[in-house]
Amino acid sequence: DADVTQTPRNRITKTGKRIMLECSQTKGHDRMYWYRQDPGLGLRLIYYSFDVKDINKGEISDGYSVSRQAQAKFSLSLESAIPNQTALYFCATSDPGLASDTQYFGPGTRLTVL
């Protein structure tokens, strides 16, 4: 079984709809991250959480919100989706106990907003 899972893997929605992307991990890591990937822009950080009670904005948090329901679960919500939120979304985890704090990525969710 994969260590970091994301659901759904693909989603098509309409402008103005609320949508939630979910991430679960079995690695036991405290830290979790949400990124979006756009062609030619690499990955950009949306939100990150260093433990259940800690939520921080990344560089592109406008239009997004998150919820850390448990150590293993970190959800990303688009309250009112717009077409320029069409992208590939990745969840990642890391363990601060490791000196290099390597991040491990889920398979991604491809979101299309019409």
Partner 1 sequence: AQSVTQLGSHVSVSEGALVLLRCNYSSSVPPYLFWYVQYPNQGLQLLLKYTSAATLVKGINGFEAEFKKSETSFHLTKPSAHMSDAAEYFCAVSDRGGTSYGKLTFGQGTILTVHP
- The binding site for partner 1 (CB under 8 A) comprises 4, 31, 33, 35, 40-45, 48, 50, 56, 58, 90, 92, 94, 96, 99-108
- Give least dist CB 35 to partner 1, A: 8
- Give least dist CB 80 to partner 1, A: 27
- State the Cα–Cα distance between residues 75 and 89, nearest whole angstrom: 11
Sheet holding 19-25, edge to edge: 4-7, 19-25, 73-78, 64-70
23 DSSP assignment:
E
- Give least dist CB 23 to partner 1, A: 11
Tokens 């704090």 sit at which residue? 101
CB of 19 or CB of 35, closer to partner 1: 35
Give the count of beta carbons closer than 10 Å to the beta carbon of residue 66.
23
CB of 64 or CB of 90, closer to partner 1: 90
CB of 35 or CB of 74, closer to partner 1: 35
